[in-house]
Structure 1
Amino acid sequence: MNFQIALGRAASRLQSIGFGVAVGLAASVAFLAVDAHAAETPAAPAPVARAAGDGPALWAIRDADSTIYLYGTIHMLKTGAAWGSDKVDAAFDSASDVWFEVTDPDDQSVLGPLFQHYAMSPDKPLSSWLTPQEQATLDTAVRAVGLSPQQIDPARPWFAALMIATGPLKAAGFLPENGAELNLRARALAAGKPIHGLETLDQQIGGLARMSDEGQMTYLRRYLATYSTAADQMERAVAGWSAGDVAAMDRFAFENGRGISEEVHQIFLAKRNADWANQIETLLKGSGVSFIAVGAAHLAGDDSLQQLLAAKGISVVRQ
């Protein structure tokens, strides 16, 4: 959906194997012992329940010898969520290769060192930044994801935000293993389709970790302020996405980007979209059919991929 949720999914994965491992408080060998991909070519997942109407929005770019499909995804969904559609299946099946934000969002050998490097700042504990009321909310939030306030206190603000952002979503039944991208990735592997990434995990996590201190605190305070309403917001976002409601996605992109701060918008959406638009322009110079699946916020709101491609003279047409 957006970068926050995408990285929240990674943080959620780390929670499942132990916070201490994720931040270097235990031997990294224990982290690497968790094999998220025991089978390199898993069986294709069961068909997704069909969405009402046309389902989530699908876009296409065409020239004389190329077709590139753009599809927005939600990274955390409830079991049995209805988002399948004939048009998306046909587009996906026609593609010779598939692109995601990263090739493997759960690559443990990469995630471990990245979070160890970027996640902690014990010389600036969170408790030194927060008001008593904010600290109380944080304590409640981290306990809900199985951590103690003492464990989270040495974390950098961006990482603490991720650790608490997924808590109310998971409690409401939104799970990363049900996400649209993981489903599509498994289908691509089962079909033997080559998988490419628009960026690396280091680019994703490093970009967030290099936010200014003020920006990180603004980001954390946003999730502290919206902790009690996060699940309801996700319900609305999923309903809009599954119905192909672009206006609903525009609102969600704003609320989780520029609505937080201009810095968040630039880091999570604008700069990444500009890079991806350049890559898509290059891809279009080739031939064949490609399917690109990225968080739905990248195809909505200000600085969307469609707008940036249009500025290059590339027409993107909704299917």
Structure 2
Amino acid sequence: MNLTTIRRACFLVILLILAGTSTAQESSLLWKISGNGLEKESYLFGTIHIICKEDFLMDERITSAFDQTEQLIMELDMSDPQLPAKMQQVSINPGMKNLQSELDESTAKALDEFLINSYGAGLAQLGILKPFVLSSMVLLKVLPCTEVESYEGFFTTRASASGKPIAGLETVDFQVGIFDQIPQKIQLEELGKLVTDDSSKQDLEKLMETYQSENVDAMYEVMNSSGMVADYRVLMLDDRNKSWVPKIEEAMQSKSVFVAVGAGHLGGEFGVIALLKKAGYTVLPIQ
């Protein structure tokens, strides 16, 4: 695997693994933000960071809302030309340590075979990547399609074409640092399940189907029933949402913005929707 391929893999997989979970009282991926002294309406959209091209959900309701706004805000500034290189740099284990020796023999063999068949390189080369990156690389190949689409990529291209400025709520270092706070043993256990348990493909297909239905409550049931995301929800979702809302509020004071973040960040007691409502804004679903 060459350097360009590794960079692209790191770029995509970080997005996928941070997609998160969601819950809300009403079903919609697009929400209008108004009131509380805002002169212009803004919009909040829940993405799933990687999806099969044929399942990509995009309609006039979404594009119209996007085109009405003056700035695009995402988890990361996807227009940063240095982003892939930055992702690669922080996705490698300290000292380029290879994780192959940390896996039991059967799991290491299964993962090695999967990576060789999928990427043309096995653990001898790719074992230097952090566990969450390897997990995400596996998930990318479990998708039931050969062509994938990215909402972040779509919005970035559309914003750049129209001269709409783009901003990020976080940095790559911060996002990767989230996984550095989760014990490596737990991450390796999750990785092992992906290559030894056939249910991972069915789970991912179910997630894609649920996302298309815009039923965010059902997405919560699919994603947050068990596993690492459920166990570390405060770290991976709640705390981040709390840090995002003041930044979103500041941006909305002077302009109309389109906020596109993982659908998992929309719902729940500490979701972006609830936090914006608590701050005094009117947040309504656009169906």
- After TM superposition, the score normalised by the length of structure 2 is 0.78
Question: Is 2:71 aligned against 1:100?
Answer: no
Q: Alpha-carbon deviation of 1:292?
A: 0.6
SS in structure 2 of the partner of residue 75 of structure 1: coil
Question: Is 2:29 aligned against 1:57?
Answer: yes
2:106 counterpart (125, 133, 139): 133
Which string of whole-angstrom CA distances, capped at 9 and with x for unpartnered residues, describes residues 147-173 of structure 1? 22311333332332233232222x633
Closer, same or farther: CA 217–302 of 1 in aligned 2, 3 Å: farther
Question: Is 2:160 aligned against 1:214?
Answer: no
Closer, same or farther: CA 123–115 of 1 in aligned 2, 3 Å: closer
SS in structure 2 of the partner of residue 211 of structure 1: coil
What residue is the counterpart of 2:246 in the other structure?
Answer: 278
Q: Alpha-carbon deviation of 1:183?
A: 1.1
Q: Alpha-carbon deviation of 1:204?
A: 1.8
SS in structure 2 of the partner of residue 273 of structure 1: helix
Q: What is the distance in 1 between the residues matched to 2:83 and 2:125? A: 22
Closer, same or farther: CA 261–181 of 1 in aligned 2, 3 Å: closer
Closer, same or farther: CA 316–166 of 1 in aligned 2, 3 Å: same
2:139 counterpart (146, 152, 165): 165
SS in structure 2 of the partner of residue 99 of structure 1: strand
Question: Is 2:234 aligned against 1:266?
Answer: yes
SS in structure 1 of the partner of residue 72 of structure 2: strand
Please tell me the residue identity of whatever aligns with 2:114. Answer: A
What residue is the counterpart of 1:88 in the other structure?
Answer: 62
Q: What is the distance in 2 between the residues matched to 1:311 and 1:221? A: 40
Q: Alpha-carbon deviation of 1:92?
A: 0.9
- 8 Å contact 2:93–2:128 — kept in the other structure? yes
Task: Please give the root-mean-square deviation of Cα atoms over the aligned residues, in Å.
Answer: 3.1
Unpaired runs of 5+ residues, structure 1, are: 1-13, 24-54
Q: Alpha-carbon deviation of 1:182?
A: 1.0
- After TM superposition, the score normalised by the length of structure 1 is 0.71
Please tell me the residue identity of whatever aligns with 1:61. Answer: I
- 8 Å contact 1:249–1:300 — kept in the other structure? no
Q: What is the distance in 1 between the residues matched to 2:285 and 2:102? A: 45
What residue is the counterpart of 1:288 in the other structure?
Answer: 255
SS in structure 1 of the partner of residue 256 of structure 2: strand
Question: Is 2:111 aligned against 1:144?
Answer: no
Q: Alpha-carbon deviation of 1:80?
A: 3.6
SS in structure 1 of the partner of residue 45 of structure 2: strand
Q: What is the distance in 2 between the residues matched to 1:15 and 1:223? A: 24
1:243 counterpart (199, 213, 231): 213
Q: What is the distance in 2 between the residues matched to 1:22 and 1:232? A: 22
Q: What is the distance in 1 between the residues matched to 2:8 and 2:151? A: 27
Number of aligned pairs?
267
What residue is the counterpart of 2:16 in the other structure?
Answer: none
- 8 Å contact 1:99–1:291 — kept in the other structure? yes
